[in-house]
Each structure stands twice: as C-alpha cells, then as structure tokens.
Structure 1
C-alpha cells in the first residue's frame, strides 16, 4: 500500500489472475522461487513473453517444462542472470571467443562476504547461482562432471561456505568459492589460458591481462600486465532493455530458458555430489 501511494501511475493488484485476460505483451516474475513455475507456465500457455528472476525454478524438471512450453508457443523466455549483462563480462566473452588466451585451462570465481545469511537456500543457490551462470556462459558448454564441498557452520544442513568444481568435455575446469561467512568482500574471476591470464575485479569493474604463461620449454614467461577494460553500467537496465529488444525482434535472449535450465541442473547436481 505504501509503495502504491508513491507510484500513482502504476496499477497494483493482489493477484495476477486479471492479467491472464489482459492484452499485455509480457510479464516479469519476481516472486518467491517456489511460485515461478506455476505463474510462468500460466502466462506462457496464453502466449505471453516471460522474464523470470533467478533462480528460474526449484527443479530441472520444472525448468525444462517451461522451456518446452515456451518453444511450443514461440514465446520469449528470459532468466534474470544479471551478471551476464555486466559490460565487463561481455568484454571477457568476446576476448575468449576471439582466442586471445588460446586454450582455456581453468577459471576461478570467488564471491565472498559476510551475510546476508539465508534460512532456506544455501550459499550457492543464493549467491553462487550468479557465478555458475557466468562460468557456463564463458565456457560455452555444459559440464560433464560437478563436484561440491560445503560446510554448515551457522545453520544445520545449510551450507554457508562452499566450493563447486566443474569439468567440461574439452578438459576445461571451472572452480567456484561462495561464502557468506567471510571477513572480506571479494568478487573476482581469474581465467587461465595457454597464452595469458585474465583477472576480473567485479568490485572495481576492471579486467587486467597478465601476460604470463609457461613456455614450450616449461620456462616461466612474464611480460607484465595490461588493463584491458574499465567501466560499468547499470546491468539491471541493460538486462531489461535486452528483454524488450528480444520481445520486439523475437531474438533469443542471452540468458534464455535453456541456459537457465542448465544452471538449475548444475545446482541440483550439487545435492548428489
């Protein structure tokens, strides 16, 4: 009620039933995760384009069903993996795809801070989901193996410090450390390739190339470092602009339903590790 008083030109509803019969083109779903599947399914079935905030669903089965229905109805289905819309990530993706680093050996992602502790989902489902989406996007394929190690310190059965290790078909490995019980605020990504190494500082929004590698004679080669990128934008704005553009052009979103379902598959596999 308080928000509705502040924003007078927006209609507020107690439920979404009336929207099902409206002439809107698309909906954005930012409700509790457990409700995502039912709400999205209802709108996709009647021909609406749908944006779902992460996590996409609570299970791979639900995620894959949403993808199936979206494709059957030729609807846009986009997932809110906001870090994919950081300009720095876009730069890194292009840099890797242009093979400036050569073969990628391994990627290391850290997302560490003190709090905010969740009582339902563990630290990977809460924080690490962003990084899993980024790692899958940069590698460009699905992992053939996922290993998980976590520690439940603050609450029983809810990991507050965790490591995820993903192995891909081409031998590339991706490692993630997520924690909400950490003394420092640290958000970084390191990418190790045969021709050099990239370091992305998410807090400072810089990408630095370390011109280091192991030579053919196994000698260390260090030719210094160079800052390749600095700058930031509003990823939420870029994300929403991308969704609108996809609605107009019917192009596939960067964070489409299939990639969102793959993130959920990886998260679900952690329970089996």
Structure 2
C-alpha cells in the first residue's frame, strides 16, 4: 500500500525515497528545489511530486517522512501531526529538548506514530550486541566508548556534535538499557570556524553508575567509526567500517589481575539498516506499535545533545 510521502529529496532524503519506493510504500515526494523535483520525476515517473509541503497535508496520505535540514524538523513535524499524519523524522529530531517533548506528547495524545531516524539502532551489528548483552554472558556493562571521525564535509550551520553524534548517543543509550543521565562533561574545539566545533569529546555518567565516552570529529585523518563495550566478563568491539563485531574474552578479576582467553567474531547479518528501518516504520503504521526509536527516544537523545552543547560553551 502506497501510504508514505517523503519530504526532502536531497543528500539523505534520496535514500529514503529509494527504499520506500522499493518497498512499494511511496506515494509521493515533496521538494522545494525545482532541480531535485525534476530529478525525482525522471527517476520515478510514477510518483506524485509536490513543490509545496502544505499540499501533502491536504491529501489522504497517512504518513510523512521528513528528511529536510534539522532547523525545519520541528515545524514540519508539528504541521504533519496536527494534520493527523504519522511521522518519521530524521535525526536530530529537533534542535532543543522542549520542542522534542512537545512533538512526543502530541503524538501520544493523538495516538499517532512518531519515529526518529536513529539509523544505527536498526544496524544488525548493534542489534546483535544488544541481544547478546541481554543474555548476561558478558556480565554487567560498565562503560561504552564511541568514536565517529573522518575528514568529512564541514558545515557552517551546525557543529560536528549535532551532525555526527546523534547516531552514537542513541546507540549508547540503547546498549546501556536507556539509563537516566546523572552528569555530563564536554569539550569542543572550533579549529576551522569560530563557534563551530570540529572536534568534540563528551563524557556521560548515569544514575546506575554506568559511563560512556563519545568522540566526534570531521577534521581527522582516518575514517574511524567504532563502538567499544567494556563489561565485567568480556569486551565487545564493533568496527562500523568493516562491519565486524569482535568479542574479547578479557576482563579484570577481583584481585585486579588481567584475564585473557582469546577472542571470536560474531556472526552478524548483512542486511542494510536503512531498509530495516523503513520496514520497521511501515510495520508500526500497520500494527500501531511504538517504534524502537520513538518520539521519547528522540527526546532522550536531543536532551544529551543539548546538555553537552551547553557544557562545551560553559
């Protein structure tokens, strides 16, 4: 059933257009740029293409997928929800926690589906680690480290923390079981432009004693995307570049002695996470179940993003 309109067909939006079209769920695309509208029309001649987002709200289409620049997310999502539409919104959900809470509350009050595009929560490797940790074989998770660095496309309208870190904040919260934040420390370095941090380090402490560290940089010589989990009995490392999860049989015993009995590679599926994410949204539309990355998951991520930004700026 074609029940989705994607708003925004640019850098990332075009991938959502492709996936929802392949899933036979795409009814149309809304895009302000005439060049992008023409590109969509050429690639998908069967689709309705809208120049004005408001025209979509007046149709019987049931769901809106928002893939526009982050500053527009709140107003577009608010309008879609007010029109009775279910909404998928790309990360970051909003640029402040107050707006994120408002959207999540509205969706709950009106029985609407609100899903945030925290793509890595649908990455098979992350799902494998989540399920494996739940078995208790690794012991209690003590600390998670996440690094997302490369020589990337530098923005002027947002810093690397808001651009890169939503992925890793969502993963940290997911792997730790969505704990309550206790405190946060952050430092950022604006190397290339005033007040636009290119390199950021953030330390998180949670009420249950678990901790996390996140490093984000788009001014870095190497492509490094890695998540490391330190647990009581084992250590897990997910290399996002090679798509491998390695489980290390390493720990420190009660006498503070090292134990090391080797390592092994996990058997992880290779399904593309974006396809799984789109399929999950469609399933939620059908069953009315809450998405894994629902509005409140989006709120939790934006809250940490915003608090880290405040800590960086003193």
Tell me, yes or no, whether TM beats 0.5. yes
Which of 67, 79, 91 is residue 42 of structure 1 equivalent to?
A: 79
Secondary structure at the aligned position of 1:170 is classed as coil
Alignment partner of 1:225 is 2:283: no
How far apart are residue 216 of structure 1 and its match?
A: 2.3
After superposing on structure 2, the runs of 4+ consecutive aligned residues of structure 1 that deviate more than 3 Å are none
Instruction: Indicate the residue corresponding to 2:281 in structure 1.
Output: 243
Moved more, 212-221 or 61-70: 212-221
Is the Cα contact below 8 Å between 1:206 and 1:231 reproduced in 2?
no
What's the CA shift for 1:58? 1.3
User: Does structure 2 retain, via aligned residues, the 8 Å contact 1:86–1:235?
Assistant: yes
Checking the alignment, whether the CA contact within 8 Å between 1:70 and 1:76 is kept in structure 2 is yes
1:96-175 to structure 2, matched below 5 A, reads 96-140=133-177, 141-175=179-213
**Partner of 2:209: helix, strand, or coil?**
coil
The superposition leaves residues 186-233 of structure 1 with CA deviations (integer Å, 9 ceiling, x where unpaired) of: 111110011110011111111111101112222211101111234422
Instruction: For 2:49 and 2:116, locate their aligned partners in 1 and report how far apart those are by CA, in whole Å.
Output: 23
Alpha-carbon distance between aligned partners in 2 of 1:243 and 1:142, rounded to the nearest angstrom: 26
After alignment, is 84-93 or 19-28 more displaced? 19-28
In structure 1, what is the Cα distance between the partners aligned to 2:196 and 2:180? Answer: 26
2:248 paired with 1:184 = no
Q: Counterparts of 1:63-78 in structure 2 under 5 Å?
A: 63-78=100-115
Q: Do 2:50 and 2:56's aligned partners in 1 also have CA atoms closer than 8 Å?
A: no
Q: Aligned partners of 2:204 and 2:168: how far apart in 1?
A: 12
Number of residues paired by the alignment? Answer: 273
When the two chains are superposed, the root-mean-square deviation of aligned CA atoms in Å is 1.1
Q: Could you tell me the TM-score, scaled by structure 1's length?
A: 0.97
SS in 2 for 1:189: strand
Alignment partners' CA distance in 1, 2:190 and 2:71? 23
1 CA distance for matches of 2:144 and 2:297?
19
Distance (Å, rounded) in 1 between the aligned partners of 2:159 and 2:285: 34
User: Could you tell me how far 1:83 is from its partner in structure 2?
Assistant: 0.8
The aligned counterpart of 1:2 is: 39
Q: Distance in 2 between matches of 1:39 and 1:162?
A: 29
Preserved contact between residue 136 and residue 142 of structure 1 (Cα < 8 Å): no
Comparing 69-78 with 41-50, greater Cα deviation is found at: 41-50
TM-score by length of 2: 0.85
Q: Which has the higher contact order (CA 8 A, sep 6+)?
A: 1
**Which sits farther off after the overlay, 1-10 or 105-114?**
1-10
